[in-house]
Amino acid sequence: MERWRSKVTGGLKGRVVEVGFGSGLNIEHYPGEVDIVLAVEPAAVARRLARQRIAASSVPIEHIGLDGQSIPLDDGSCDCALATFTLCTVPDARQVLAELRRVLKPGGSFHFLEHGLSPDESVARWQRRLDPLQRRLADGCHLTRDPLALLSEAGFRIEWSQQRYARGPRPWSYFTVGVATKAADAAP
């Protein structure tokens, strides 16, 4: 997992908003070019677990909100955005992506690492079957979301992406990592 986290955080710089910040597992991977991370995280327990990592971080980190569906930042105010294993869990992934697009500067980049819908029909069938149980047991996490489709639908341009199975049971391990941008001439 550390390799994937290093890969997705590569190229982050300036003012970065991270949705689903969790307990701060990406902190050690932020590049030196990051000036500040603005964290959005609803779970009090995750925010508590993050405290020590934040205290030890060389990059300043500020919790600025509780819900990626409504980010308390101005339009076009961030250079980059980051989400890892979060689009699967948020209630409305489309609304989160609309918010990320809004707060990104034109030309800004969204770095994502997610698990999601497999292109293999036999695995996808299991994912659809297991989805209701997964959502109940894993805090709303879906197995059947397709990150690249959601990003394209939200108006992002995929700059690069890689998809593959990681180790583990296939319904949970089809991973997508990549970077998408908000077009440089996009309206706020």
Ligand X SMILES: C[S@@+](CC[C@H](N)C(=O)[O-])C[C@H]1O[C@@H](n2cnc3c(N)ncnc32)[C@H](O)[C@@H]1O
Q: Which residues bind ligand X (CB under 6 A)?
A: 19-20, 22, 25, 40-43, 46, 67-69, 84-86, 89-91
> In this complex, which beta carbon is closest to ligand X, that of residue 44 or of residue 187?
44
**CA-based angle 128:93:140, to the nearest 5?**
55
Q: How far is the CB of 21 from ligand X (least distance, A)?
A: 6
> In this complex, which beta carbon is closest to ligand X, that of residue 94 or of residue 125?
94
Length of the chain equals 188
In single-letter form, the type of residue at position 25 comes to L
Cβ–Cβ < 8 Å for 81, 19: yes
Q: How far is the CB of 4 from ligand X (least distance, A)?
A: 10
CB-nearest residue to ligand X:
22
> In this complex, which beta carbon is closest to ligand X, that of residue 38 or of residue 90?
90
Q: Which residues are CB-contacts of 12 (< 8 A; sequence separation ≥ 6)?
A: 30, 31, 33, 34, 80, 82, 111
Cβ–Cβ < 8 Å for 31, 14: no
> In this complex, which beta carbon is closest to ligand X, that of residue 106 or of residue 168?
168
- Where does residue 18 rank: exposed (0-12), middle (13-18), buried (19+ CB within 10 A)? buried
Q: How far is the CB of 58 from ligand X (least distance, A)?
A: 19
Cα 63 versus chain centre, distance: 16
What does the DSSP 8-state code read for residue 65? E
Q: How far is the CB of 138 from ligand X (least distance, A)?
A: 8
Q: How far is the CB of 90 from ligand X (least distance, A)?
A: 4
> In this complex, which beta carbon is closest to ligand X, that of residue 89 or of residue 118?
89
